[in-house]
Structure 1
Amino acid sequence: MFHGYTGKILRVDLSSGKIWIEKPDELFYRTYWGGGCLGAYYLLKELPPKTDVFGPDNLLIFATSILTGAPVPGLARHSVMAKSPLTEGIGESQAEGFWGVELKKAGFDALIVKGKADHPVYIWINNGKAQIRDASHIWGKTTGEAYRIIKKETSPGVRIALIGPAGENLTRYASIVNDLIYPNFRMGLGAVMGSKKLKAIAVTGEGKIRISDADTLEKISDDYRKHFIEDSVPKMQYDYGSAGAVAMVQEDGQLVTRNFLTGVVEKWEDMPGTEGYRKFIQKNQGCFFCPTNCKQIVKPVKKNGVELEGIYGAPEFDGAVALGPNCGITDTPVILKAYELCNSYSLDPTSLGATVSFAMECFERGIISEKDTNGLKLNFGNKEVLLKVIELIAQRSGIGDILADGSYRAAKVFGKEAEKFAIQSKKKELAMHDPRAKASLGLGYAVSPIGPDFAVIEHDSDFNFSAPQKFIDEAGPVGIYERLPAESLSDEKVRMLYNLQLFWSSLEVICGCIFALAPVRYMKIRHLVEAIRAITGLETSLWELMKLGEKRLNMFRVFNLREGFTFEDDILPDRMFQPIQSGPRKGQKLDKDEFNKARSLYYEMMGWNDRGIPGKGKLSELDLGWIEEYLPTENE
């Protein structure tokens, strides 16, 4: 028996109130490891096709991996999965912090919730035991208010995953907020919690993670902790948090601004990544056993007419850009307040900001008017309106009820060519990295089974002609040997996407953090493989990791095909094929014919046919022959 897992999965049926423990065998863990593969296994096995995302049959899965909680940086994440309310395909969102580690210490590798309670509840997991508790008294409260109450009712050291009013009101991009500052941001999985009347999951545990070779693991961890700060990327994160790259992309002309119309702002004092931004930061905070401390805590201050509580953390890159320049706003206190409201109400700041910026463009183009917006002047740059609209969305009130469904569905309601201005793919708003400046990432957005996300692959800019030589050297094990232009979609760039996507997908299976373990971060790939061997005792390799990533992508792909997705969903919005309007990258755009050719080549590399359907041979090679029955027929 190898080490690293507890061998137990906690099952809860909220409809019946039944709680039981499932014990998969060793082969299951050896085959699926955890994270995205574990979640996809249960969704494919147990979720009926075409399940209502808000119905009791939708599964809500919280999964760790066989590595989670080991004393080494970068292995503190957990995955939440369900059929997504936003895309209506497979949904996965990972969060860092401590919650997943605590679930493992409590004795479980995963929690699977089904059914729907007849009144608000929360689940309390304590050292191998679980109970369903009444949550009527905290339903309707913000995450901060509910967090304080649950902590008093359970344990001072408890870790809590919870939703606020946006999740309760089924906002399609509602998040799940862990310990107030570590959200599972994307895919609307907080709305699945809300549909089940599940306010929170509180966990505490005192168990130990069994390690095969503690001495080797300690050496790897010590090396990271002593020397990570010598690398440029970890140092930037340590100094400025994960939003530290904002100033850099502004200078490069690829800062997403005004609904992707342009790539620069005229002026932004105290933007993230500058010394002026530091005055808003109280302290840095890390995740379990990680010294990078890239999570930041905002000071509780009053400035520019807003009051910051200082308990919900500071935005990451995507949140800062989505709520800021993409809405035409460069007032840092307002952006911090908007992010605070997102975590308070449990809203994904990326989809929220992108949906609001879409509405702002529609307002300025005359597609909607004050009659449609509750009298609000929804112009770009209107700071007060941004904060007001966030509350309306969370409560599903007025115009907020329409915007709570995301830009794709809102465009259907607005009509008058509004769909042109919804910057989405698979009904999910794009992450805040412009594909016109990062072409492989753009293709990654399009073919990603969970829709456009910043973490689908390592970004093109890390391997272009201005990237440090160290980045090229460290990416050699995954087949990246030369610098390539970030704006290109050449055959070589598609190969880069394919290789990097398999590796990053594997990190979603092992619940590994891309900010610690990706090729350009401090921990080298060979050290990661050594750490896995030391934790588990398995004789594994980078090859097996890459195959795990490929297995996850194919399982996700087949789930979506079963739900009716086709290759025609692997697209980018029209704006990506239109030029950036101003700044250093003025005129830059993607070529649609080149994009379609690159997509076809990607399908070939994946072993899929020209409709993006995996072949029997590919599924069998990945030990996934059992999912062949879910593939569409030739006539479908």
Structure 2
Amino acid sequence: MTNTEEKSNGSFPEAKILDVDLTNKKITKKTLPGDIYRLYPGGTALGVYLMLQEIAPNIDPFSPDNLLVFAVSPFTGLPISGTSRLTISTKSPLTGGCGDSQAGGDFPAFLKANGYDAIIFRGKADNPVYLYIDGERSELKDAKNIWGKITGEAEEIIKKEIGNNKIEIAQIGPAGENLVKYACVINKMTRANGRNGTGAVMGSKNLKAVVVQRQKTITPYNKEGFKSLTTSPEMKDRIKGFTDGWGVGGTGNFLYNQNRSGFLPTKNYSEGYMEDAPKIDGRKMMETGILKGRETCYACAVRCKRVIDIPGKVYPEYGGPEYETLATFGTYCGATDLETICLCNQLCNMYGLDTVSTGATIAFAMECYEKGILTKETTDGLDLSFGNHDVLPILTEKIAKREGFGDFLAEGSKICADKLGEKAIPLFMGVKGQEIPAHMPQAKPGLGVVYSVNPYGADHESCEHDSMITIPGNPFKGRIDMIGDYNHYTDATILDENKMHYMFATQCFYSMNDTLGLCQFVWGIAWQLYGPDNLLDLCKYGIGWNATIEELLEIGERRINMMRFFNAREGFSKDDDKLPERLFKPLPEGPAKGIGIDKEQFYKAQEMYYKKAGWDEKTGNPTEETLKKLKLDWLLS
């Protein structure tokens, strides 16, 4: 890294980095030359690049030696939908491997507007602090008076201290302070860097918040060309159609369709159908009148975020649940009380908890209770039967505060299962220590393969789903074919070499999306608002980068391989690329009764994936040849 201001690549900008040494209260400005930044242009690619250079193997994630990296990208803050994304990278306390999490909101755009592409946090402050950035000025401020406060209270106090409301805040709640291993970082009180326990690492450093002053945001490199993506008549019509459909319904509508097909995770993934599931889906939110509006991220026309208002119970400033939360606090737990699920979503945003891991960990505990592995003597007297929605908010608060039985659950369901013993271990529904999201791989086994190989645990936004190449008369084929030529199927459950090529290519594409800070619900290769051709225009008109699809896919592939390499240093191998055994068993009830993943076929497909990715067939780790191909030979020295 260099402190020079001279650009080393005229076609790609330098990365401006703020290096914050919390131990010594020292803040340093650095730059990364454009030719290097082009290889790791933001997001986790930049984060893990920095981590691999500085983090020694096998450190405790809560050690001051761990880094916490906030990163945006050259595109962050452009006046177009789906470009205001923040990535946080660290060594995860939940998985023990490379941690990665994204969030939207306004904070990312204004971090970039203040002139920074990344912030590195190192060390540990003696007392709670927060970082305040106002253009060239940055300082660490005392946070003792907001330590222990929920997010809404902390935001109010910080705004009074700074003296204006024109700030954006990314912060942890009490869950992060208490080192809950799936604590998250919250901005706008509704946008969460939810997965992998990034909030716990932030708490371990006594860092309460990062505050950025609103500034004039960036402008496109070519304003006239950029208009073709935003204000041309064709694009205006496309945006209206997309927002009228997708934005209004939101992801909550998935719940109805998943249940109808028999692939809605129910009772800790033991079933795929729940008769009363329509009581908690997106349509029910609208019918009951609790859905009061929609909110959006910086410059985004989609406005997909729910705003719920239940007087005296759920407050609109904390947003509302989307599909994953409706499922994990709902069907995972056998619960059908919509107001309670909305309350749990609010509590997670107040305390700074990942809704997926929180709901899934409670569901795990419920199944342990049903099977007699846990009893009222161990659960603080609580009845953890499936369907008992009254215990959900109680357990959520106990987890955040690490009180009683909540202290046990705060470790995550993998560690809980290991502590409870052999009867509980098969009930952990996760990969690499992280709980599986609410898209059942029994219906999408290609997604299941990506769940298994993904460096930071199962993630439904790490690739395109099997269903996108099984739609009759597929309207998305033209977009999909832009990243490769694939046969299309009539059966989504087929696992063959063609399917693995598709899964690998789409994983590289969405890995690139995460690197460039692009929202997966706006930029993609299928149903999204913008396709790969639009992405090339974004590169060209947004920042003057004449990128190719091949270069973009390679950026995504490079990110994946750096993360796999990081994990290999921590002792990970193909033995960690396993799905829970339950997923290979036939579903017992519902429209998908009898369907399970063929285990032998699945692991044969995984071998095909390793071959396509250029990973060692015995270890599952990147080969020397693959690292050299991706310009990662510096990792071999």
Q: Above 0.5 in TM-score?
A: yes
The 2-side partners of 1:537 and 1:17 are apart by 37
For 1:511 and 1:432, the matched residues in 2 are separated by: 23
Q: Partners of 1:316 and 1:460 in 2: how far apart?
A: 22
What letter is aligned with 1:333?
Answer: E
| Counterpart for residue 366 of structure 1 | 372
Amino acid at match of 2:268: N
Give 1:139 shift: 0.7
User: What are the Cα deviations for residues 261-308 of structure 1, in whole angstroms up to 9, with x where unaligned?
Assistant: 111111145433315535211111111111110011111425xxxx11
SS of alignment partner, residue 222 of structure 1: coil
Mean Cα displacement is larger for which, 180-189 or 148-157? Answer: 148-157
Which amino acid in the other structure matches residue 590 of structure 2? G
Secondary structure of the corresponding residue to residue 69 of structure 1: coil
Q: Shift of the alpha carbon at 1:524?
A: 2.1
SS in 1 for 2:612: helix
Q: Equivalents in 2 of 1:276, 1:508: separation in Å? A: 30
Aligned to 1:102: 110
- Distance in 1 between residues matched to 2:13 and 2:379, nearest whole Å: 51
Question: Which residue is equivalent to 2:297?
Answer: 287
- The answer as to 2:217 corresponding to 1:211 is no
- For 2:159 and 2:41, how far apart are their aligned partners in 1? 32
- Counterpart among 315, 324, 327 of residue 309 in structure 1: 315
* Structure 1 residue 255 displacement after superposition: 0.9
Q: 2: distance between equivalents of 1:593 and 1:3?
A: 48
The residue aligned with 1:633 is: none
Is 2:191 the partner of 1:182? yes
- For 1:31, the equivalent position in structure 2 comes to 39
Q: In the alignment, what sits opposite 1:625? A: 633
1:250 aligns with 2:268: no
- Counterparts of 1:5-16 in structure 2, within 5 Å, are 5=13, 7-16=15-24
What secondary structure does 2:459 align onto?
coil
CA distance in 1 between counterparts of 2:75 and 2:446 reads: 30
Letter in 1 for 2:569: R
Match of 1:558 among 540, 565, 580: 565
From the superposition, tell whether residues 208 and 287 of structure 1 become closer, same or farther in structure 2 (CA, over 3 Å): closer
CA distance in 1, matches of 2:79, 2:307: 24
2:209 counterpart SS class:
strand
Aligned position for 2:5: none
1:595 aligned partner: 602
- Residues 146-157 of structure 1 aligned to structure 2 (within 5 Å): 146-154=154-162, 155-157=164-166
Instruction: State the 1:8 CA deviation.
Output: 1.5
1:351 matched to 2:360? The reply is no
Task: Name the counterpart of 2:414.
Answer: 408
Checking the alignment, whether the CA contact within 8 Å between 1:425 and 1:446 is kept in structure 2 is yes
Residue 426 of structure 2: aligned partner? 420
1:321 maps to what in 2? Answer: 327
Query: Whole-Å Cα distance in 2 between the matches of residues 398 and 58 of structure 1?
Result: 29
Q: Residues 273-284 of structure 1: matches in 2 within 5 Å?
A: 273-274=282-283, 276-277=285-286, 279-284=289-294
Task: Give 2:139's aligned residue.
Answer: 131
The 3 A distance-change label for structure 1 pair 118 and 236 is same
CA contact (8 A) 2:256 2:277 kept: no
Q: Is the 8 A contact 2:486 2:502 kept in 1?
A: no
Q: 1:450 to 1:595 in 2, by over 3 A?
A: same
Percent same amino acid at aligned positions? Answer: 38
| 8 A Cα contact 1:87 1:187, kept in partner | yes
Hey, what does 2:306 align to over in structure 1?
Answer: 296
The residue type equivalent to 1:580 in the other structure is L
CA contact (8 A) 2:110 2:217 kept: no
Tell me which moved more, 184-193 or 492-501. 492-501
Query: Does the aligned pair in 2 maintain the 1:269–1:331 contact within 8 Å?
Result: no
* Counterpart selection for 1:42 from 38, 45, 50: 50
Q: Which runs of 5+ in 2 are unaligned?
A: 1-8
Tell me which residue corresponds to 2:120: 112
Please tell me whether residue 477 in structure 1 is matched to residue 482 in structure 2: yes
Structure 1: which 5+ residue stretches go unaligned? Answer: 630-636
Note the C-alpha offset of 1:6: 6.3
Matches of 2:613 and 2:486, distance apart in 1: 21
- 2:59 & 2:116 partners in 1: Cα distance? 27
Aligned to 2:398: 392
> C-alpha root-mean-square deviation of aligned residues, in Å?
1.6
Q: Contact 2:175–2:400 at 8 Å: present in 1 too?
A: yes
| Counterparts in 2 of 1:451 and 1:267: CA distance versus 1, 3 Å | same
Q: Which residue of 2 aligns with 1:70?
A: 78
Deviation at 1:416, TM superposition (A): 4.5
How far apart, CA to CA, are the structure 1 residues paired with 2:400 and 2:466?
A: 35
Secondary structure at 1:146 match in 2: helix
TM-score of the aligned structures, taking structure 2 as reference length = 0.95
Q: How much does 1:32 deviate?
A: 1.3
Moved over 6 A (4+): none
The one-letter code sitting in structure 1 at the alignment partner of 2:159 is K
Cα distance in 2 for residues equivalent to 1:558 and 1:145: 41
Mark the CA change 1:269 to 1:448 in structure 2 (over 3 Å): closer, same or farther.
closer
1:548 aligns with 2:558: no
**One-letter code of the match for 2:142?**
D
Secondary structure of the residue that 1:159 maps to in structure 2?
strand
Question: What's the offset of the Cα at 1:571?
Answer: 0.7
> Offset of 1:166 from its aligned partner?
0.6
Secondary structure (helix, strand or coil) at the match of 2:183 reads coil
Instruction: Indicate yes or no: 2:506 matched with 1:500.
Output: yes
Letter in 2 for 1:99: F
Q: What amino acid does structure 2 have at the position aligned with 1:157?
A: K
Whole-angstrom CA distance in 1 between matches of 2:494 and 2:15? 46
- Does the 8 Å contact 1:472/1:482 carry over to 2? no
Asked if 1 retains the 8 angstrom alpha-carbon contact of 2:76 and 2:112, the reply is yes
Q: Distance in 1 between matches of 2:241 and 2:636?
A: 45
Q: Amino acid of the residue matched to residue 423 of structure 1?
A: M
Q: Measure, in 2, the Cα distance between the counterparts of 1:348 and 1:237.
A: 24
Q: With the length of structure 1 as denominator, give the TM-score of the two structures.
A: 0.95
State the one-letter code of the partner of 1:206.
Q
